[in-house]
Structure 1
Amino acid sequence: MEQLKVGKFSLTWLNGGVTHLDGGAMFGVVPKPLWSRKYPVNEKNQIELRTDPILIQYEGKHFLVESGIGINKLDTKKKRNFGVTEESHIEQSLAELGLKTSDIDAVLMTHLHFDHASGLTKWQNDKLVSTFTNAIIYASKVEWEEMRNPNIRSRNTYWKENWESIQNQVETFSKTKEIIPGLQMIHTGGHSAGHAILKLESEGEKLIHMGDLMPTHAHQNVLWVLAYDDYPMTSIEQKQIWIPSGLKQNVWFSFYHDAFYRAIQWDEESRIINSVPRTRS
């Protein structure tokens, strides 16, 4: 498992499973000859996308960013449509670190689409129960409302199986939420109405987790947004705010979906100056 230190914060990427989605959908209006130079594509025009939660550890506290694709949460048809070739191994990853799911203090959800939220619940004796029994689950108020009341478009990704068992653990916020000093969630909208990003700062070091505003390193261009985005112009506006300022400060940008990099530092010319490559087995 890859790790990164940001000041006093320790980040570890867990194994949350993998999907393969249409490359055109993942890069929107960007022509394939451009995006395919940045990110490999298979013969089905799919790109590999991890769903790997980030464990953040700080002074004995354990926070999880996202929850993975889950186990047995997708039927055969969904697995085929979403190119799922591996499901979550979160419990095994935590066990390697001497932890259990019950040790997680909070789960920080950038948004609640199925590929981020399916790991929040698990099957136990033919019943769906909470995976992280002792955790507060943070999400923006807008996101939580749509999760429970999806529209004709979003009902394909907001599933009751992912929220009914955990609703008493959810704590929402409107604009920003300081989880602990140095760790903050910020509502941005864009990918979904309630989408949020994470900002982490300690001892002069900084990291921004852009969620699905920048799902892979190839989405660093502020204009390269997803066809899946509900509000693409908002995605662009938010990327214009966070990416250029981050480049000036040499912040780390971390990823949930990237199959090749866990985190990257770029300079102002978008050249990689530091990176945490994903170890591919």
Structure 2
Amino acid sequence: MQETSFIVIRGNSMRLDGGTMFGNAPKALWQKWIPADERGMIDIASNCLLVKSGNHNLLFETGCGAYLSPDMKARFAVKEETHILMQSLAEQGLSDADISHVVLSHLHFDHAGGLLSAWEPDREPDLLFPNALFVVGEENFKRSQSPHHRDRASFIPGLPEKLQATGRLVLKRGGDRLVVGGLTIEFFQSQGHTPGMLVPWIQAQTGSVIYTADLIPGLPWVNLPITMGYDRFAEGLVDEKKQMLERAVDENALLVFPHDPTHVAARVECDPVKKRVMPSKVFETLNITL
């Protein structure tokens, strides 16, 4: 039986408006979950999932990275100047050249920015991960090529062309699977946050892990009604979230959150009193073998 390691590593962190991150939830409620500063800004993490299976090193998401110019870093309150994800990989004895697959739920900058090298004056950032297959949802890739006015600022200009030019772009649809080493990855397609976002359900020999993407950005969003102002279709997202959480309970799957600054993962169970899915065990770090 081939064992697989699941490790949450950090990318660059940022701060965003708490009211937008929690949609129509009142500040009196959401500030109990994640405290805000005097401007109403909250910490947003880049939690990337490194999966080691046999000779394969898979990376789920890359965070916001360090490619933004200084003025744009200031706009999104990106805290670090250096490429934190590269440092996190080095701490695991790896570089970007050692990654066999980069799996991206969608191509918003806070999930795909880490694909690019750190900003330098008068130089366009380079695409990193020279040996990796880039796995992206087909519908979201098309969206990134021609975004709507509402979400145009969320995508990285020129990134789709860089990915295509590698010859290593792999486009997937909802229901598709990817078999790598001892893993089977099934892709659940979500439309609530952005068109064609793919939530990977990673099935190892002895357990399942779901990288929740922006369907559940962090622990507070396990609550069904809680959505983000960035979501294009909040009611549809709630329905998708319900479907995913019910399956997570059935499979005792581990949820890994992309943006929670404190709780990177959780298991969930159905609360018989509240009659809804609730966290049963939370993790502030994650390094497990399944």
| Residues 225, 238 of structure 2: 8 Å contact kept | yes
**Mean CA deviation greater in 128-137 or 18-27:** 128-137
Aligned residue for 1:50?
45
Partner amino acid, structure 2, of 1:203: Q
Q: How does 1:33-48 map to 2 (within 5 A)?
A: 33-48=28-43
Q: How does 1:186-205 map to 2 (within 5 A)?
A: 186-205=188-207
Aligned residue for 1:258?
260
* 1:114-143 Cα shifts (integer Å, max 9, x gaps): 111111122689243220111111111110
Measured after TM superposition, the shift of residue 83 of structure 1 is 1.8
Q: Distance in 1 between matches of 2:96 and 2:69?
A: 24
Q: Distance in 2 between matches of 1:42 and 1:244?
A: 35
| Residues 177, 184 of structure 1: 8 Å contact kept | yes
Partner amino acid, structure 2, of 1:176: G
Aligned residue for 1:13?
8
Q: How does 1:149-228 map to 2 (within 5 A)?
A: 149-168=146-165, 169-180=168-179, 181-228=183-230
Q: Secondary structure at the match of 2:36?
A: coil
Measured after TM superposition, the shift of residue 198 of structure 1 is 1.1
Partner amino acid, structure 2, of 1:206: S
Q: Say yes or no: does 1:235 pair with 2:242.
A: no
Q: Which runs of 5+ in 2 are unaligned?
A: 272-276
Partner amino acid, structure 1, of 2:244: W
Q: Which runs of 5+ in 1 are unaligned?
A: 1-6
* 1:25-71 Cα shifts (integer Å, max 9, x gaps): 01101111122222222221111111132111111201111112222
| Residues 174, 187 of structure 1: 8 Å contact kept | yes
**Mean CA deviation greater in 26-35 or 197-206:** 197-206
CA-based RMSD: 2.0
Aligned residue for 1:103?
98
Partner amino acid, structure 2, of 1:79: K
* 1:206-241 Cα shifts (integer Å, max 9, x gaps): 221210010010000111111101121221110110
Q: Distance in 1 between matches of 2:24 and 2:217?
A: 16
Residues 1:271 and 1:143: Cα distance change in structure 2 (over 3 Å): closer
TM-score by length of 1: 0.89
Aligned residue for 2:22?
27
Q: Say yes or no: does 1:76 pair with 2:70.
A: yes
Q: Secondary structure at the match of 2:126?
A: strand
Aligned residue for 1:134?
131
Q: Distance in 2 between matches of 1:76 and 1:95?
A: 25
Measured after TM superposition, the shift of residue 75 of structure 1 is 2.4
| Residues 212, 258 of structure 2: 8 Å contact kept | no
- How many residues matched? 272
Measured after TM superposition, the shift of residue 146 of structure 1 is 1.0
Partner amino acid, structure 2, of 1:34: L
Measured after TM superposition, the shift of residue 278 of structure 1 is 4.0
| Residues 121, 166 of structure 1: 8 Å contact kept | no
Q: Say yes or no: does 1:67 pair with 2:69.
A: no
Partner amino acid, structure 1, of 2:281: N
Q: Secondary structure at the match of 2:68?
A: coil
Partner amino acid, structure 1, of 2:84: H
Q: Distance in 2 between matches of 1:219 and 1:9?
A: 28
Q: Distance in 2 between matches of 1:55 and 1:245?
A: 23
| Residues 223, 278 of structure 2: 8 Å contact kept | no
Measured after TM superposition, the shift of residue 91 of structure 1 is 2.0
Aligned residue for 2:274?
none
Q: Distance in 1 between matches of 2:237 and 2:278?
A: 22
Q: Say yes or no: does 1:275 pair with 2:268.
A: no
Q: Distance in 2 between matches of 1:172 and 1:210?
A: 19
Identity %: 26
TM-score by length of 2: 0.87
